[in-house]
Amino acid sequence: MGNRYDHRQIEEKWHRIWEEREEKRRRAKGRKYYLLEMFPYPSGEPHMGHVKNYVIGDVLNRVRRRQGYDVLHPMGWDAFGLPAENAAIQTGTHPKIWIDNNIKSFKRAIKALGIQYDWDHEVTTCDPDYYRWTQWIFLKFYENGLAVRKRAPVNWCPSCNTVLANEQVVGGRCERCSTEVTQKELVQWFFKITDYAQRLLDDMELLRGWPERVLIMQQNWIGRSEGATVEFPLVGSDRTTPIFTTRPDTLYGVTFFILSPEHPLVEELIKGTEYEDEVRKFQEQVRKESLVDRGAPEVEKKGLFLGRYVVNPLNEEKVPVWVANYVLMEYGTGAIMAVPAHDERDFEFARKYDLPIRVVIKPRDGEIDEHNLREAYLGEGVMVNSGPFSGLDSQEGKKKIVRYLEKEGIGKFDVSYRLRDWLISRQRYWGAPIPIVYCDRCGIVPVPYDDLPVLLPMNVDFKPTGQSPLTSCQEFVETSCPRCGGLAKRETDTMDTFVCSSWYYLRFCSPHYTEGPFKEEDVDYWMPVDQYIGGVEHAILHLMYSRFFTKVFYDLGMVKFKEPFANLFTQGMIYKDGAKMSKSKGNIVSPDRIVEDYGADTARLMILFAGPPELDMEWSDRGVEGAYRFLNRVWRLVIDNVKSLQLLSSSEREISSEREISQEDVKLRRKTHQTIKKFTQDVSERFSFNTAISALMELVNDMYKYNELVSQEEQNPQVLREATEILVQLLAPIAPHLSEELWEQLGHKESVHDLPWPSYDEEIARSEEITVVIQINGKLRDRITVPVDISEEEMKKIALSSQKAAKFYEGKEIKKVITVPGKLVNIVV
Ligand code: ANZ
Ligand code: ZN
């Protein structure tokens, strides 16, 4: 125990000193570097996932500063939203108080871990100084036709009593409370992100510094499909109805036609007919199913015949019109041509309702039995039963049919996107009020920019009723119309918190600016973010919305760049006993306890050493022990060397060429410079913290070996000093407290964290090679080239894999392998 370092005393000491020095921290003159971790939702205490995020950020911050970059490394709080409101409902504490308390505990934990932020850039999204500008941005969107009010079916969580975005519905259930989601029609505010669908796709080519998998997720979410819209004439009317299809080559296989239950034409077709009652009942029933479910392949397909027909414009055939749950009003045109032979869902539907199935594509190298079809044939192939198009390859046929449709004026090439407009209204209290007023005379009136912020009143009953709690707050609702001065009512919905987090990275650049959401000059300097770090769970929503905002700002001339985040690093999650760490599972490991028992440096090292940071990791207590042991090993090594090293005056520190340098000295110097090289590359180019740490461990081992092999009198104090100081300097970003203490013990006055990043000498780092001979029973059979410092084990391995030597002992039993380090390997057979 006596050999252990006192982490508590050391960490407290340096927190105190750093706090005092913080004021004076110099800003480097080098290239700007905006380093950003996704700001957290401060719900309760930070968990290990947060810790991992901040520690990675902190290491990079410290390394980049020492490499001479001018770094911006801000932190703030995503503070509006449901958890605060739900906690308030449960405990009776006002969301503001709950949030403030949580921010305090986050800050305390962050400080305890020795994480450095530019606290003078802190922002909190629920502060009027912040949401004033969120509202300002809403007004800009409104002015430019990008914030619109629409009546729309929405996902509704009956337990949270609120609308959910599609993204917040997971497997048909509310992401937050797991209640089954239903559908409801409401007038809501939307941001028209669909106007930017193509640009969100096209600009992905600017995102070379993003993980491939995130780009793919975004691409799938936008879901671009190429195909055609085709007009189908309605029998008994002079109207046509358009459908969207990705397979115009299957037009001859259409055997029925389906409208979405919400399609406006349905009403017209059934009115006053014998089908009316039943169809209305069906519509009612479908309305209760969530949109996400209806789109899912495994959901049961249901439908009804409407008693009417359309004409297939290619072969003039009459086909029956149905409604079905699996056709959504939100995609394409809300109507489809059904081709059961070649579409899974249509196939299932046709089987269920006994509708005809006609094969029009057959595999290129096979047959297909139309009368015994087990499933739809989805692939490409050769067109059959397709009039003049029969015999064409389906790829070719697609183009020919589209050309024909265009020529006849009954269809055209078209593109559809899965991406939906972003529903931003929430019927909740704890969010930024939407700055809109409704006036009986003037209609929808935006609040003038000068009247912002529309303050969120503090005294409301925020129990969920399905209506925004603000509706019951008279002094909020009742206002005068900014246009005519007459009585008017305020919009009582608040904004989705994703709105607040879609522009915070811009606010960070000029957090106290009062003339606009951000100061152009500061944003010009800092943006785009050079390195963004966060969880992969934000791969779709947050990142897509932030990209969308940036493009809108670009179009409005507010920023000069099209993408906000040049490089993205997505960290893996932390699991415990195979499950994601979460409060509800009760498997949370608190960073506090580790910091308390082992120190912040151990917690940091452990997280970084646990494996590649982009991969998910399984929590292990042994990892903590191991990290702690390593730090103690470093402590003892340095402290043991301190006495002899301190005796060196500074003029003696240079390694002189005159003094005799032993083989062991050369080896240690080589290792020292190799470690600088590897550590620097691993950390600053590859984010491979675990392998960087392994390199430090090797250096420590070699230093222990040096102390063992070379007697005290023969040790070269300069070589040893160089190794020791480099070790401490490299360890500094990872274990900042211990390193700072050791640096001081080594006799330095300045902070180790203010030193320039160490450079290495390529010449010294180069591993020297020597030739070793391989003998079989004492006879020379081969020569191999190996690094000088190769271990005996390695030498053996290489010798045994020599093909040339192997020929001489093939089929014989190896009795012994004798190695003479640096000279030879003798294989005795
Ligand atoms: C005929 C057809 C034949 C289709 C065939 C597919 C295969 P993706 O690829 O996802 O874009 N569709 C179109 N609008 C729809 C809606 N509102 N609700 C449900 N389904 C809809 O899907 C496009 C295909 O999905 C379209 O191509 C259409 O079915 C269906 F062998 O048209 B297809
Ligand atoms: Zn008015």
Sign of the CA dihedral with 808 first, then 813, 815, and 818 last: positive
Please name which ligand lies nearest the alpha carbon of 255.
1
Say if residues 227 and 248 touch (Cβ distance below 8 Å): yes
How much is the average pLDDT of 362-376? 88
The CA distance from 130 to 548, in Å, is 20
pLDDT band at 648 (very low <50, low <70, confident <90, very high): low
**Gap from CA of 284 to ligand 1 centroid (Å):** 24
Q: Is 73 helix (H, G, I), strand (E, B) or coil?
A: coil
pLDDT band at 28 (very low <50, low <70, confident <90, very high): low
Average pLDDT, the chain: 91
Of the two residues 806 and 78, the one the predictor is more confident about is 78
The CA distance from 114 to 110, in Å, is 7
Please say if the pLDDT value at position 472 is more than 80.
Answer: yes
Structure tokens at 736: 């900042």
**Residue 520: how many other CB atoms lie within 10 Å:** 16
How much is the average pLDDT of 436-441? 97
**Residue among 263, 319, 343, 401 whose CB has most ligand 1 atoms within 8 A, to mutate:** 343
Query: What are the residues whose beta carbons fall under 8 Å from the beta carbon of 735, sequence distance 6 or more?
Result: 601, 602, 604, 605, 631, 634
Please say if the pLDDT value at position 134 is more than 70.
Answer: yes
| pLDDT confidence of residue 466 | 66
**Residue among 333, 336, 413, 416 whose CB has most ligand 1 atoms within 8 A, to mutate:** 336
Please give the sequence-ordered ranges of beta strands (E in DSSP) within 266-384, or none if there are none.
303-311, 318-324, 335-338, 361-362, 382-383
**Gap from CA of 153 to ligand 1 centroid (Å):** 21
pLDDT in tens, 221-231: 999 999 999 99
The CA distance from 505 to 511, in Å, is 10
Please say if the pLDDT value at position 87 is more than 70.
Answer: yes
Nearest ligand 1 atom, CA 326? 19
pLDDT band at 802 (very low <50, low <70, confident <90, very high): confident
pLDDT band at 659 (very low <50, low <70, confident <90, very high): low
**Gap from CA of 480 to ligand 2 centroid (Å):** 8
The CA distance from 789 to 698, in Å, is 13
Protein residue with its CA nearest to atom 31 in ligand 1: 342
Structure tokens at 485: 């001065």
pTM: 0.87
**Residue 642: how many other CB atoms lie within 10 Å:** 15
Please say if the pLDDT value at position 493 is more than 60.
Answer: yes
Query: What are the residues whose beta carbons fall under 8 Å from the beta carbon of 798, sequence distance 6 or more?
Result: 784, 786, 790
Please name which ligand lies nearest the alpha carbon of 481.
2
How much is the average pLDDT of 143-154? 91
Sign of the CA dihedral with 284 first, then 286, 288, and 291 last: negative
**Gap from CA of 720 to ligand 1 centroid (Å):** 71
Protein residue with its CA nearest to atom 1 in ligand 1: 245
The CA distance from 619 to 236, in Å, is 69
Say if residues 482 and 454 touch (Cβ distance below 8 Å): no
How much is the average pLDDT of 467-475? 87
Protein residue with its CA nearest to atom 19 in ligand 1: 327
Protein residue with its CA nearest to atom 33 in ligand 1: 245
Please say if the pLDDT value at position 708 is more than 60.
Answer: yes
Q: Give the DSSP per-residue string, 714-782.
A: GS-HHHHHHHHHHHHHHHTTTSHHHHHHHHHHTT--S-GGGSPPP---HHHHSPPEEEEEEEETTEEEE
**Gap from CA of 471 to ligand 2 centroid (Å):** 19
How much is the average pLDDT of 336-343? 98
Nearest ligand 1 atom, CA 341? 31
Protein residue with its CA nearest to atom 25 in ligand 1: 245
The CA distance from 42 to 75, in Å, is 12
**Window from 229-233, 315-319, 433-437, 820-824 with minimum mean pLDDT:** 820-824
**Window from 553-557, 609-613, 709-713, 727-731 with minimum mean pLDDT:** 709-713
| pLDDT confidence of residue 713 | 83
Enumerate residues lining ligand 1, CB below 6 A.
225, 244-247, 250, 260, 326-328, 331-332, 334, 336-337, 339, 342-343, 416
The domains found in the chain, sorted by start residue, are: 224-417 (3.90.740.10), 620-765 (1.10.730.10), 769-828 (3.10.20.590)
**Gap from CA of 464 to ligand 2 centroid (Å):** 30
CA angle 125, 110, 527 (to 5 degrees): 50
The CA distance from 760 to 670, in Å, is 10
| pLDDT confidence of residue 721 | 92
**Gap from CA of 448 to ligand 2 centroid (Å):** 13
271 is in an annotated binding site: no
Q: Give the DSSP per-residue string, 115-163.
A: ----GGG--BTTSHHHHHHHHHHHHHHHHTT-EEEEEEEEEEETTTTEE
**Residue among 229, 230, 245, 358 whose CB has most ligand 1 atoms within 8 A, to mutate:** 245
Say if residues 191 and 424 touch (Cβ distance below 8 Å): yes
Nearest ligand 1 atom, CA 225? 11
Sign of the CA dihedral with 676 first, then 116, 594, and 45 last: negative
Please name which ligand lies nearest the alpha carbon of 486.
2
Using a 10 angstrom Cβ sphere, with 0-12 exposed, 13-18 middle and 19 or more buried, the burial of residue 615 is exposed
**Gap from CA of 594 to ligand 1 centroid (Å):** 54
Query: What are the residues whose beta carbons fall under 8 Å from the beta carbon of 739, sequence distance 6 or more?
Result: 728, 729, 731, 732, 752
**Residue 331: how many other CB atoms lie within 10 Å:** 18
pLDDT in tens, 258-292: 999 999 999 999 999 999 999 999 998 888 777 77
The CA distance from 618 to 206, in Å, is 34
Please say if the pLDDT value at position 2 is more than 50.
Answer: no
Please say if the pLDDT value at position 24 is more than 70.
Answer: no
